[in-house]
Amino acid sequence: MGSSFNFELRLPPFRTGDYRLRMRTAFISHPDCLLHHMGPYHPERPARLKAIEDELAASGLMDRLERHVAPLATFEQLKRVHTPKYIASLAAAAPSTGFAYLDPDTAMNPYSLAAAYRAAGAVILAADLVIGEHAENAFCCVRPPGHHAERNRAMGFCLINNIAAGVAHAIQAHALERVAVVDFDVHHGNGTEDIFRNNPRVMMVSIFQHPFYPYGGVTGRSGRMVNIPLAAGSNGHAFRAAVNEFWLPALKRFKPQMVFISAGFDAHRDDDLASLNLLEADYAWVTGRIREIAHEYANNRIVSALEGGYALPALGRSVAAHLKVLNEP
């Protein structure tokens, strides 16, 4: 892929305080994210993005968002969260035809590497837009997802840790001192924890079904790694109780200057890949609580990026519920 990954971000000038130029929610995606696929029966499929865009169009929400095209993340941006050896190994594994399997669940086709670089680039662009006050918050409608990708390992449908790339960019390019990651995917974000476990500038709060893939998150917890396991069959009541009892107090103590969301919607009741029972109202509710934290401590700065969610109608409705709250005045 070589020099094709060179990209210089150019943002339009912005006058602080001119809220006529500040859109509430940026929507960032790229057609490359539709070209990545891992086989005809794989649940992490291009139709996920189409289901989201169809629902946003049908609900009228898309007309209230400002669309941006995701750039390619650069090598320098990615090596903040992945080792150079790992980044090179992905490029070496990329096939010219067919599929290359990195683990039994995670494959690359000829377009996967570009899609992964776009997905990470979307979150990096989102951080620039929000910190630069070109948007109050942003949603990255991208794939492949990222929160299982560890510093040295692809797994769980994930190649590059998109959220981690954005968090590291906010810290290193914008000198933020405290950044929170909120992960409500049904699977524990082991990759994000692996990358930031020893970084005092980052707090991670998460819920996930346990025991369940990737079978971690319950050891090594700390005041900055607030991982709350939920038993199979848990519903919105248990989810909201965990948020109120564990997440919100931890976030208030940490006082984040920015919040990133690993927005997985596979804890939905209709999603057959897991066994939690959340509904669209639960995703709207938690988005509201996150906005309250961001308003109090982070100048309203939120960047959200798509992770899981495989029941297409439920995915579209859940993302719409999430974005409706993000886009509220």
Give 24's contacts (C-beta < 8 A, 6+ positions apart). 64, 135, 136, 137, 326, 327, 328, 329
Mean per-residue pLDDT, 58-80: 97
- 81-123 residue pLDDT tens: 999 999 999 999 999 999 999 999 999 999 999 999 999 999 9
- pLDDT at site 22: 53
- Alpha carbons 274 and 329: distance in angstroms, whole number: 34
- 257-272 residue pLDDT tens: 999 999 999 999 999 9
Is pTM beyond 0.75? Reply is yes
Instruction: State what percent of residues in the chain have pLDDT above 90.
Output: 91
pLDDT at 21 over 90: no
SS3 (DSSP) at 113: helix
Grade residue 222 by pLDDT with cuts at 50, 70 and 90: confident
CB 229 within 8 A of CB 210: yes
Ramachandran region, residue 133 (left: φ > 0; alpha: ψ -120 to 50; beta: rest): left
Q: Would strands 202-209 and 179-183 be described as parallel, antiparallel, or unpaired?
A: parallel
Domain boundaries, the chain: 24-326
Grade residue 16 by pLDDT with cuts at 50, 70 and 90: very low
- pLDDT at site 219: 87
- Alpha carbons 209 and 267: distance in angstroms, whole number: 8
Q: For the domain made up of 24-326, give the CATH fold.
A: Arginase; Chain A (3.40.800)
- pLDDT at site 10: 37
Q: Which residues on adjacent β-strands are paired with residue 226?
A: 205
Instruction: Give catalytic status of residue 188 as yes or no.
Output: no
pLDDT at 160 over 90: yes
Q: Which of these ranges, 17-26, 81-90, 216-225, 234-243, has the smallest mean pLDDT?
A: 17-26
Catalytic residue among 148, 187, 210, 322: 148
Nearest to 32 by CA among 121, 132, 161, 100: 121
Grade residue 279 by pLDDT with cuts at 50, 70 and 90: very high
Mean per-residue pLDDT, 61-70: 97
pLDDT at 1 over 70: no
